[in-house]
Structure 1
Amino acid sequence: MINAVATFFGIGHLRPASGTWASLAAVLLGLLAMNQGLYWLVPLGAVAATVLGFWAVPLYLRGRDDSDPSEVVIDEVAGQWIALSFTAIPAMNHGLYIGLWWGAWPAWVAPFVLFRLFDIWKPWIIGQADRRGDAAGVMLDDVYAGLFAGVGSVILAGLYHAVLQPWLM
């Protein structure tokens, strides 16, 4: 069970870029939930992945030399679902349809791209968490990256809807 959670059911073993594969899987699962009208599953999944990650990652890392092995991707899943929650909750509240190729489809692109950007770049507090070198740091840097990506997505949506969209019409 620890291995399944830490590697998100083996997705962490995909190469190259296991974190990107895990983020993509998280977005696709989030889109599946939202397309079924189950928007609330995204923030619920974010909480569950975060709690399970804080449980599983220390146990998975016990006795290993590498403090952040690439196959551990539950942190990316948690962070990606946190970022996507900033889309899912407003979409649910406004009755928006988030489709993969139709509807408000760009709404899932910004959280995905911004999360990957912040997770790789690791500015400010994200980098500080990553440099902890322990199991909590493995989870925290992605939780922070998810929060940054979520806020960034809201800012970009606001700019688009308030500035760009009226100008294009």
Structure 2
Amino acid sequence: MSHVIATFFYIGHLRPAPGSWGSLAALICGAGLIYFAGLIGLCIGILFACLLGFWAIARETTGKCDHDPSEIVIDEVAGQWIALLPLAIWSLPFESAAFHYMFSFAAFRLFDITKPGLVGWADRLVGPLGVMLDDVIAGLMAAAAIAFVMVIL
């Protein structure tokens, strides 16, 4: 069960760029969560992704040299869902919502890949906390960027 959670139902085994595949799957599932369950549903999803993700990552990496294998993408799921929080708070017409969803994906991937500031610091932490925390911080940064763009536009 930990492998299913850690790989987000085996999405993490897609190649190339499993993190991007995981973020894309999270974007689609997150949009569904927002549509069907709203802000509260998304927040519950984030909480479960973080808690179950921490557990699954700990189980999947115990005793292994690689503390952050590429197939583990539950951290990307949690981070991408955090990036979607502004879209769950402010409803948008479909035309502009589609742009903002794509922007959330691009912003999250940019921060997750380039690892600026606190994202890089968290990425250097060893263990499940570091694996999860860098994506949570990248998600918060992406959420701030999206909120800024929403206010400007």
Rg: which structure is higher? 1
Q: Which residue of 1 aligns with 2:139?
A: 146
Q: Which residue of 2 aligns with 1:29?
A: 29
How big is each residue's C-alpha offset from its partner over 1:38-90, in whole Å with a ceiling of 9 and x where there is no partner? 22322221111011111111111001111110000000000000111121122
**Correspondence 1:95-134 to 2 at 5 A:** 96-97=92-93, 99=94, 102=95, 104-134=97-127
TM value normalised by structure 2: 0.93
Unpaired segments of 5 or more residues in structure 2?
none
Q: Which residue of 1 aligns with 2:76?
A: 76
Unpaired segments of 5 or more residues in structure 1?
161-169
Q: Which residue of 2 aligns with 1:49?
A: 49
Q: Which residue of 2 aligns with 1:15?
A: 15
- Runs of 4 or more, structure 1, over 4 Å off, are none
How big is each residue's C-alpha offset from its partner over 1:12-55, in whole Å with a ceiling of 9 and x where there is no partner? 1000000000100011112223344x223222211110111111
TM value normalised by structure 1: 0.84
- Matched residues, number: 152
- Deviation of 1:110 after TM superposition, in Å, equals 1.7
Work out the CA distance in 1 between the residues paired with 2:89 and 2:6: 26
Once the two structures are aligned, what percentage of the paired residues are identical? Answer: 47
- Deviation of 1:103 after TM superposition, in Å, equals 5.9
* Residues 1:39 and 2:32 aligned together: no
- CA RMSD, 1 decimal: 1.4
The code of the aligned residue for 1:85 comes to L
Work out the CA distance in 2 between the residues paired with 1:119 and 1:106: 20
Query: Counterpart of 2:24 in 1: which secondary structure?
Result: helix
Once the two structures are overlaid, the 10-residue window that deviates more, 43-52 or 146-155, is 43-52
Q: Which residue of 2 aligns with 1:158?
A: 151
Work out the CA distance in 2 between the residues paired with 1:42 and 1:57: 21
Work out the CA distance in 2 between the residues paired with 1:3 and 1:16: 19
Work out the CA distance in 2 between the residues paired with 1:128 and 1:32: 32
Query: Counterpart of 1:104 in 2: which secondary structure?
Result: helix
